[in-house]
Structure 1
């Protein structure tokens, strides 16, 4: 057991630096061991590691990255658009209050 009270500040700084280096080494060793375990499990059941690590219900599909088309546009200001998804913008609510529907906003 190390008696920290008997150590000088310089010795304590050295101890901290040595401990931080050791933590990095240990962490790297633990990660490598875990990686090998995961690879062994994946190999045992015959699937790639990437498939093994996909979150449940997420599947392996990816979004196309294609933006959602504009569904509504303010007739007199085409910079104001809305896809119809998510929270309605204030200008959509104001239009709906004034006109009763969104028909005049169809893009």
Structure 2
């Protein structure tokens, strides 16, 4: 399975739809994409749509955490939306629900 990342702008926000597995092979692509977007996200919310992400491993978690940090350093905010129950369970077990922003 590959990863597809589609970015659109709407209502003053940037939407990033991710389709595929966030693992060691593909998570770096998402992190790189967020690094590219971050400078243009000052005072903007980037909404990361994870509806079509069936699985993530520790590399995927690291990419998300790094994405949050990178976007915040540029004055923006990163929020997750449409997270599957399985991935939300991973976030709860790792206590990332205390750190991540959800929409």
Q: What range is the shorter-chain TM-score in?
A: under 0.3
When normalised by structure 2's length, the TM-score is 0.22
Higher strand share: 2
Higher relative contact order (CA 8 A, sep 6+): 2
Computing the radius of gyration over CA atoms, which structure comes out larger, 1 or 2?
1
Using the size of structure 1 for normalisation, the TM-score is 0.21
More helix by share: 1
